Amino acid sequence: METVEIQVVLTEAAVADILNAITNTSARLLARDPDAIYATLQQRRAAVGGMLELARRLNAHRLVRALEVHADALTRQLQAL
């Protein structure tokens, strides 16, 4: 079986739009159930981790960096609780 490498090239605007959508979803999920903030942050961190793995496999370097920043922010929020 032959391995094929895929590379996705995203503009800065596209990465900003994607990260904006991800950040808005995170905020919406946290606002929906304020009593379960820790569990919600853990679930969202796991979801972003999956997105990060996909971005890495697609060699979407700009998106990888943006997702890493968002994942780090979620981790800091978890640690602050």
Number of separate domains in the chain: 1
- What is the pLDDT at residue 13? 92
DSSP state of 36: G
Q: What pLDDT is attached to residue 56?
A: 92
Q: Structural domain of residue 16, as residue ranges?
A: 12-80
- In the prediction, which pLDDT does 46 show? 96
pLDDT score at 28: 92
User: Please, which residues have CB within 8 angstroms of residue 45's CB and are 6 or more apart in sequence?
Assistant: 71, 74, 75, 78
CA nearest 29: which of 38, 17, 70?
38
Tokens 């994942």, residue located: 71
pTM of the prediction?
0.80
- The pLDDT of residue 3 is 79
pLDDT of residue 81: 86
pLDDT at 41: 93
Can you list the residues of the chain whose pLDDT is less than 50?
A: none
**In a domain? residue 52:** yes
How many Å apart are CA 43 and CA 31, to the nearest integer?
14
Q: Is residue 68 part of a domain?
A: yes
Q: Assess if residue 35 is contained within a domain.
A: yes
Is the residue at 3 inside a domain?
Answer: no
